Amino acid sequence: MQITITVNGAKRELEVTPYTRLLDLLREDLGLTGVKEGCGKGECGACTVIMNGELTASCLVPAPQADQAEIVTVEGLGTKDDLHPIQESFVEAGAVQCGYCIPGMVLASKRLLDEKPKPTEKEVRYGLSGNICRCTGYAKIIDAVMLAADKLAVEGSDSND
């Protein structure tokens, strides 16, 4: 069957089976390997994307269900030469170790900061509660989100697009 999705701003028409997971569609058909698989069961958050403005575990979404959806993956934020302030904060705060959870963490942070530009530490912890990291112990990831909030506040409201 045919579906239409908008991924990182580009409209795509794709042929899928009813069982194709959105995760595999993004990784294998579109080559967006920044979307990771950690559990395949909706537990770990490594496969997180922002779908129609909401954090979504792409391993749990059958591709046909994403028809007409608007999807943002980590590839849609910034590039190595032009990092999004959240990505920049993760680098600067030392929040990245093996990195496998990081695309999901960055997107969860984006979703949180879009809604709450000045979160408390508790709100940050809650906002990231769907994402498991086995390396860092979370402390520096939380620092990174707080740092990102400051950076975005300085840059002004238009950077929250």
Partner 1 sequence: MTDQNKRIKDYFCKHTTRCTIEGVKKSKRFVGHDILKADAWDKVTGEAVYPDDISFDDMLHIKIKRAVHPHAILKDIDISRAKKVQGVVDIIVAEDIPDVRQFGLIIRDQPVLIAPGEKMRYMGDALAIIVAETKEAAKKARDLIQVKVEELEVITDPFRAMEADAPNIHPDGNIVITHHLNRGDVDEAFKNSAIVEENRYQTQFIDQLPMQNEAGVALYDERHGVVDIWAATQWLHDTQADVAQSLRLSKDQVRIIQPTIGGAFGKKEDVSVHIHLAIAAMRTGRPVKLCFTREESMITQSKRHPITIINKTGVDRDGYLTAWETKFVGDTGAYASSGPAVVHKGMYHATGPYNCPNLRGVSHAVYTNNTYAGAMRGFGTAQGAFAYEQQMDILAHKLNIDPAEFRLKNIYQKDSITPNGQQLTHSVNAEETIKRVMELSDWKGGRK
Helix 139-155 × helix 102-115 angle, to 10°? 50
> Judged by CB under 6 A, which of 133, 144, 145, 152 binds ligand FES?
133
Instruction: For residue 65, give the DSSP letter.
Output: G
**Residue 158 Cβ, how far from ligand FES at the closest point, in Å?**
30
Q: Which stretch, 47-55, 86-94, 121-129, 151-159, contacts partner 1 (CB under 8 A)?
A: 86-94
Residues in 8-37 that interact with partner 1 by CB under 8 A: 27-37
Single out the residue of 89, 159, 83, 148 nearest to residue 118, CA to CA.
148
Q: Which stretch, 39-47, 74-82, 84-92, 143-151, contacts ligand FES (CB under 6 A)?
A: 39-47
Q: Rounded distance, CA 4 to CA 134, Å?
A: 35
Total residues at interface with partner 1 (CB under 8 A): 43
Rounded to a whole number, what is the distance in angstroms from the first to the last CA of the chain?
A: 32
Question: Is residue 57 part of the contact set for ligand FES (CB under 6 A)?
Answer: yes
Q: Which stretch, 62-70, 101-109, 122-130, 153-161, contacts partner 1 (CB under 8 A)?
A: 101-109
| Number of Cα atoms under 13 Å in the Cβ half of residue 145 | 28
Cβ density class 1-15: b for 16+ within 10 Å, e for less: eebebebbeeeeebe
Residue 30, binding choice from partner 1, ligand FES, none, Cβ under 5 to 8 Å by partner class? partner 1
Chain positions contacting partner 1, by CB under 8 A: 27-41, 44, 46, 73-75, 77-80, 83, 87, 90-92, 94, 96-103, 106, 132-135
